[in-house]
């Protein structure tokens, strides 16, 4: 009998079936499913309140404001940060754009990035300055010597990626930060969108100036991104958006911005989603046990082992399990469209996986030569699901590969 992870019952979406086939959700690097406590927190706000925050003195507004700010405190505590160093935005992309634009760099400012960066940690810096990216080796690990060479140019900003959403590699960020601090006085901006769902980060120990992540990748609702920033850095950052909610006073001659972090939070925010994010953090912290960490290692081993054992599949990333999360990007034969395979896995077998360039096209094009199939597991997944996925992939490829070899169109 298959043993199911006990927390699976907390996720209503996993009860769905397609044509009588239970679904297996393996697209967690894109977005995670939501547990009942998160859904209930969001629903409770809409059912019992629904008022705006920070703008009214009536009872409902004050209750909503208190719940919103309490959620900020929960998120801040999870990071080991003061609440006034946590800016609530829409997503990681907005957070990184806020920093890239808010630093007001000169057009020729030298910025060091990483080749395996998500487009959200690549394009804002390309727009803000002169970006050079650190190379990676054949398995997607950073070329440390090349990184040191780039640092000798004394960059104004170093934009780091903690974990690649393509290779699953977790970079030794503490070591990289130490090298940056020893080489120059660059502002260090960390994209933690893929790493924080799997491991806590204490910003009192990790000496970064800014860190961005999204709640929807760690069991929270969509529409909430978080920017952590040192208070002295935030104080010098120019707001990306202006308008209601971020000012204390406006007259015909000028305006006075609110204190940090509120000056960066113009307009009505995603109130219910922020409240739901606090429930997600609490749920994650309850799951932060040695047994769960072992479970994550088992998922990673199943994903990597299943890939390296198959001759018709090429794993994009390290062939081992050390220093990576439970994620595997697979390159199929050039004649087999990854998108079509993803659709068939979903419609015929109930496996939800991702296909494409993963919003990291320079890396995927360089390492894979084309689109990949990405399988990413999370705490509610089980090893038998991974094994079942590979069995389904084997079956599909057994008839797709011969058809592709003859040029026959898949349907």
List active site positions.
359
CA distance 125 to 102: 11
- For 280-343, strand residue ranges (E) read 314-316, 327-331
Q: Residue 200 gets which letter from DSSP?
A: -
CB 104 within 8 A of CB 110: no
3-state secondary structure of 265: coil
CA distance 408 to 411: 9
Of the candidates 198, 192, 140, the one whose C-alpha atom is nearest the C-alpha of residue 169 is 140
CA distance 131 to 297: 35
Residue 303 is inside which H or E element, if any?
A: helix 290-308
CA distance 309 to 317: 14
CA distance 369 to 350: 28
3-state secondary structure of 223: coil
Peptide bond into 261 cis (omega under 30): yes
Which residue has tokens 């160093």? 85
Class of residue 53 by CB neighbours under 10 A (exposed 0-12, middle 13-18, buried 19+) = buried
Could you tell me the maximum CA-CA distance found in the chain, to the nearest angstrom?
73
Of the candidates 374, 394, 303, 384, the one whose C-alpha atom is nearest the C-alpha of residue 27 is 374
What are the CA-CA distances from residue 4 to residues 21, 91, 286, 357, 379 (Å)? 16, 32, 18, 32, 11
DSSP string covering 110-136: EEEEETT--GGGTHHHHHHSEEEEE-B
> What is the Cα 165 distance to its own chain's centre?
8
């Amino acid at each position: 009998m298959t043993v199911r992870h006990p927390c699976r019952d907390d996720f209503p979406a996993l009860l769905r079936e397609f044509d009588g086939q239970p679904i297996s959700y393996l697209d967690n690097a894109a977005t995670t499913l939501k547990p009942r406590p998160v859904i209930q927190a969001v629903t409770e706000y809409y059912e019992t309140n629904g008022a705006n925050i920070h703008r009214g003195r009536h009872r409902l507004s004050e209750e909503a404001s208190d719940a919103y700010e309490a959620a900020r405190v929960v998120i801040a505590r999870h990071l080991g940060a003061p609440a006034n160093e946590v800016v609530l935005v829409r997503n990681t992309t907005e957070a990184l754009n806020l920093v890239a634009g808010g630093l007001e760099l000169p057009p020729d400012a030298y910025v060091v990035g990483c080749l395996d960066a998500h487009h959200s940690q690549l394009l804002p810096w390309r727009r803000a300055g002169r970006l050079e990216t650190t190379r990676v080796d054949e398995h997607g690990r950073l070329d440390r010597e090349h990184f040191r060479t780039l640092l000798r140019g004394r960059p104004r900003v170093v934009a780091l990626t903690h974990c690649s959403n393509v290779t699953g590699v977790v970079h030794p960020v503490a070591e990289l930060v130490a090298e940056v601090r020893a080489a120059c006085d660059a502002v260090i901006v960390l994209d933690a969108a893929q790493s924080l769902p799997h491991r806590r980060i204490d910003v009192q120990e990790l000496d970064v100036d800014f860190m961005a992540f999204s709640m929807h990748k760690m069991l929270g609702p969509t529409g909430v991104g978080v920017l952590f920033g040192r208070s002295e850095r935030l104080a010098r950052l120019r707001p990306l958006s202006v308008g209601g909610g971020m000012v204390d006073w406006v007259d015909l001659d000028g305006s006075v911005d609110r204190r940090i972090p509120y000056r960066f939070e113009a307009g009505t925010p995603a109130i219910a989603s922020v409240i739901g994010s606090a429930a997600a953090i609490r749920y994650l912290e309850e799951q932060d046990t040695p047994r769960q960490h072992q479970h994550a290692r088992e998922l990673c081993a199943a994903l990597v082992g299943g890939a390296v054992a198959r001759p018709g599949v090429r794993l994009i990333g390290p062939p081992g399990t050390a220093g990576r999360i439970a994620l595997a990007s697979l390159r199929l034969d050039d004649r087999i469209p990854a998108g079509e395979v993803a659709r068939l896995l979903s419609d015929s077998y109930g496996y939800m996986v991702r296909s494409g360039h993963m919003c990291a096209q320079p890396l995927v094009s360089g390492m894979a030569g084309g689109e990949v199939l990405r399988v990413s597991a999370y705490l509610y997944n089980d090893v038998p699901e991974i094994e079942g996925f590979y069995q389904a992939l084997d079956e599909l490829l057994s008839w797709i590969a011969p058809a592709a070899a003859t040029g026959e169109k898949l349907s």
